[in-house]
Amino acid sequence: MPDVFSAAVRSYIMSRIRSRWTLQERAIHGYLKGWKVPHRMHPDVPGVPDILVANRLAVFLHGCFWHGCLKCYVPPKSRKAYWHPKIEGNRERDKKNMAAARRAGYRVLQIWEHDYKRDPERCARRILRRVSSQ
């Protein structure tokens, strides 16, 4: 099935998709900041996590579509030859990034978009529990 948008319109749509400071990241940052939890957004550490909490916990916030969530990912109907390898590549990169963070001595927490959408505060509290459990 061909794309329903022209190349110019598709390019514009894709340019609006953010890689940093997404809605999910801003919300979790707001909770952590409000609770005075020391953290850094988009730190320059191995694995490039979205959040580094208390210099011990690397948090990866994954969108269900872009990271190929096994629970709710629905493959696109158009451009399958492009999207299948793209999402598989993202999954492999995620595994490598989380392994790199672990090798560097960080504990890793992965939070999926569907969990965030269900209860954002619960996701933030999950981060707190992981930090305080060490």
Residue extents of the structural domains in the chain: 19-132
Better-scored residue on pLDDT, 130 or 4: 130
Question: Does this model's pTM top 0.95?
Answer: no
Give 28 or 21, the one with higher predicted confidence.
Answer: 28
Mean of the pLDDT values across residues 106-120? 96
- Confidence at 134, pLDDT banded by 50, 70, 90: low
Of 67, 54, 55, nearest to 111 by C-alpha is 67
- The matching CATH number, chosen from 3.40.960.10, 1.20.120.80, 3.10.20.740, 3.10.20.600, for 19-132 is 3.40.960.10
Spatial separation of the C-alpha atoms in residues 13 and 100, rounded to whole Å: 32
* pLDDT > 90 in the chain, percent: 71
Helices (H), the chain: 7-15, 23-34, 80-103, 113-118, 120-132
In this structure, the dihedral spanned by the alpha carbons of residues 101, 39, 125 and 59, taken in order and rounded to 10 degrees, is: -20
pLDDT in tens, 66-81: 999 999 999 988 888 9
Predicted confidence (pLDDT) at residue 1 exceeds the cutoff of 70: no
